[in-house]
Amino acid sequence: MKTGRMLLATALVALFAGGAEAQVSVKLGVLNDRSGTYADLSGEGSVIAARMAVEDFKAKDKGINVEIVSADHQNKPDIGSNIARQWYDQDGVDVILDVPTSSVALAINQITREKNKIFINSGAAASDLTGKQCSPNTVHWTYDTWALANGTGSAMVKAGGDTWFFLTADYAFGHALERDTIAVVEKSGGKVLGTVRHPFPGSDFSSFLLQAQSSGAKVIGLANAGGDTINSIKQAAEFGITQAGQNLAGLLVFITDVNALGLQTAQGLVLTESFYWDLNDETRAFAKRFAEKSGGKMPTMVQAGVYAGTLHYLKAVEALKDKDSAKVMAKMKEMPTDDPLFGKGQVRADGRKIHDMYLFEVKKPEESKGPWDYYKLVATIPAAEAFRPLDQGECPLVKG
């Protein structure tokens, strides 16, 4: 009898002890492209990254219950916004992660603000997310067009590439990328010898590449994206442009593109990224664990951004023991960021996450020691210079 009562008491104490540890349940939704152009860049890898962040954070031991859901937005804004609304309204999702493709990201940005949830973008390039369309509910983690144009533009000029020729996709995105990069190149003391606009989407770049070649510019800037960039790099390789001493500078190229092209074709290409798996011991350790789960693929900067963003969010929730969007956002901006992949940084008032960016050059096939050994570091762009200054983004949050 006595033992029975003891047992009951112990059980009750245990129950209360468990209850005293404030339980917060959060639901994270990874929304990205799982079937199209950006599936390799983000896709399932981003879900793996988010899960790893939850594991590494030991969320369970800290009283945070995390559930992760994922979906494919097929790069269509209406599908993406439908899923996002459903997640927020019906499924109790608190945070949406990743979301490549600018049009979808901007749509989710609006919905998240309307529903007062949190959006941690890693995949999209649109610098408007922290500019004109900035929102108190959005963090833009990994990169944006301004950072890429700035990184490649300024660092290339410093490295001696002071004359440029641009190959630009003829639509708003290409024009913006070209304009931003030209501004940076000229500010750093470089000279632009000419530009040529190619139709979007394009398939034959030979005449444009010949113009670029005969311009004699040291650097050919590719102000295009996706399939256009891939095709122009391939055709440039056929013309032997990089072997002849000119540099190709990709303004929106990712490691997955380099992987798809192969080193033979992509060698000599310079590009800016915010993360490379082979940067230091911590990134290598992360990449090794990641590769085990993803069938040998190394993490991209977008996937790394999902990992780091999730980690930072969970830290804020842990500190507050609460998941109220406004409080968590304030905490995320107040607390400096620190994670093994991007190092120390901060989230600015406009939602822009600040960290170092890196200018890489793609190795020659003989320099590469194994699969995914693609980049050599040319320059590090310090966090303070890597992103658009706070007062130049026309973000209403900053003025107000």
Partner 1 sequence: MASVSERMAAAPSARAAVDAAHLHRAIFVGIAIFLAVAPFLLYPVFLMKVLCFALFACAFNLLLGYGGLLSFGHAAYLGTASYICAHTAKVWGMPPEVAILLGTAAAAALGFVFGSLAIRRQGIYFAMITLALAQMVFFFSLQAPFTGGEDGIQAVPRGHLFGLIDLSRDTSLYYVVAVIFLVGVLFIYRVIHSPFGQVLKAIRDNEPRAISLGYATNRYKLVVFTLSATLAGLAGATKAIVFQLASLTDVHWTMSGEVVLMTLVGGMGTVFGPMVGAAVIVTMQNYLAHLGAWVTVIQGVIFVICVMLFREGIIGVLARRLKRPL
Q: Which residues bind partner 1 (CB under 8 A)?
A: 34-35, 39, 43-44, 69-79, 81-83, 85-86, 89-90, 102-103, 106-107, 109-110, 126, 128, 133, 170-173, 200
- Where is 67: in which H helix or E strand? strand 64-72
Read off the amino acid at residue 200: F
Which are the contacts of 359, defined by CB distance < 8 A and separation ≥ 6?
151, 152, 155, 156, 159, 270, 271, 272, 377, 378, 379, 380, 381
| Least CB distance to partner 1 at residue 360 (A) | 26
Please report which helix (H) or strand (E) contains residue 326, including its range. Answer: helix 325-334
Considering the complex, state which of residue 65 and residue 86 has its C-beta at the smaller distance from partner 1.
86
The least CB distance from residue 102 to partner 1, in Å, is 5
Q: How far is the CB of 59 from partner 1 (least distance, A)?
A: 22
Name the residue nearer to partner 1 (CB basis): 85 or 289: 85
- CB of 116 or CB of 243, closer to partner 1: 116
Nearest-approach distance from CB 195 to partner 1, in angstroms? 17
Spell 171-203 as b/e; 16+ CB within 10 A means b: eebbebbbebbbebbeebebebeebbbbebebe
Please report how close the Cβ of residue 140 comes to partner 1 at its closest, in angstroms.
14
Q: Are 66 and 28 in contact (CB under 8 A)?
A: yes
Q: Are strands 118-121 and 138-140 parallel, antiparallel or unpaired?
A: parallel
Instruction: Report the residue number, 102 or 142, with the smaller CB distance to partner 1.
Output: 102
Which residue number, 74 or 368, has a Cβ lying nearer to partner 1?
74
Whole-angstrom Cα distance, residue 347 to residue 312?
Answer: 10
Q: Smallest gap, in angstroms, from Cβ of residue 43 to partner 1?
A: 7
Closest Cα partner for 363 from 264, 256, 218, 247? 264
The CA-based dihedral angle spanning residues 162, 165, 167, 170, taken in that order and rounded to the nearest 10 degrees: 110
- Please say which residue, 82 or 213, places its beta carbon nearer to partner 1: 82
165, 220 Cβ separation under 8 angstroms:
yes
Cβ burial of 370 (10 Å; 0-12, 13-18, 19+) is: exposed
- Give 122 or 242: the residue with its C-beta nearer to partner 1: 122
- For residue 295, give both structure tokens: 């069938």
Burial of 216 (0-12, 13-18, 19+ CB in 10 A): exposed
What's the closest the beta carbon of residue 310 comes to partner 1, in angstroms? Answer: 18
In this complex, which beta carbon is closest to partner 1, that of residue 133 or of residue 337? 133
Report whether 22 contacts 64 (CB < 8 A).
Answer: no
Nearest to partner 1 of 133, 215 (CB atom):
133
Compute the least distance from the CB of residue 351 to partner 1, in Å.
16
Q: Of 195, 203, 189, whose CA–CA distance to 174 is shortest?
A: 195
Which CB, 133 or 150, lies closer to partner 1?
Answer: 133
Q: Rounded to the nearest whole angstrom, what is the least distance from the CB of residue 199 to partner 1 in the complex?
A: 9
Considering the complex, what minimum distance in angstroms separates the CB of residue 393 from partner 1? Answer: 16
CA 359 from centre of chain: 15
Q: How far is CA 211 from CA 149, 221, 365, in A?
A: 22, 13, 27
Three-class secondary structure of residue 355 per DSSP: coil
